[in-house]
Amino acid sequence: MTWYDVLKMPPIRNPQADRWKSGKNDDLTMPEYEKLFREVADPIIVEANERDSQYAMVPLHKLEMGQDRALEVAKELYADMGYKHIWILKPDLILNLR
C-alpha cells in the first residue's frame, strides 16, 4: 500500500456517533438555546425561587437534550447570573439558587 492509496481512502467516521446524540435539541444555535431555556427552565427557576427552594431541578426530558450539552449550555447561559453551581443529577439539570 502506498501513500497515494491512503489518500484515496474514505474518511474515517465513528459508526457510533449518532448514539451519543441523545436529544433532538443538541445541535441548536445559541439564540435558539436561549429561547428554549427561557420557555422551559426559567419558569421552573422562578417557581423554585418563589417556594424559597435551594435548588431548581429542570428535567432533561423537557429540554430534549443530552446531559453534556445541557450542562454546557446552562453554564454558558446562567453562570454570569449568579448560579455558580450547575450540575447534572440524572434525570435533572440542577441549579443552586443560593
Residue-level length of the chain: 98
- Indicate whether 32 pLDDT > 80: yes
49 to each of 1, 16, 23, 44, 81, how far by Cα in Å? 65, 41, 28, 9, 14
DSSP 90: T
Q: Say how far apart CA 96 and CA 98 lie, in whole Å.
A: 6
- Indicate whether 83 pLDDT > 70: yes
Longest Cα–Cα distance in the chain: 69
Residue 85 exposure: Cα atoms within 13 Å on the Cβ side:
8
Q: Say how far apart CA 20 and CA 6 lie, in whole Å.
A: 28
State the pLDDT confidence band at 17, using cuts at 50, 70 and 90: low
Q: What is the pTM of this model?
A: 0.74
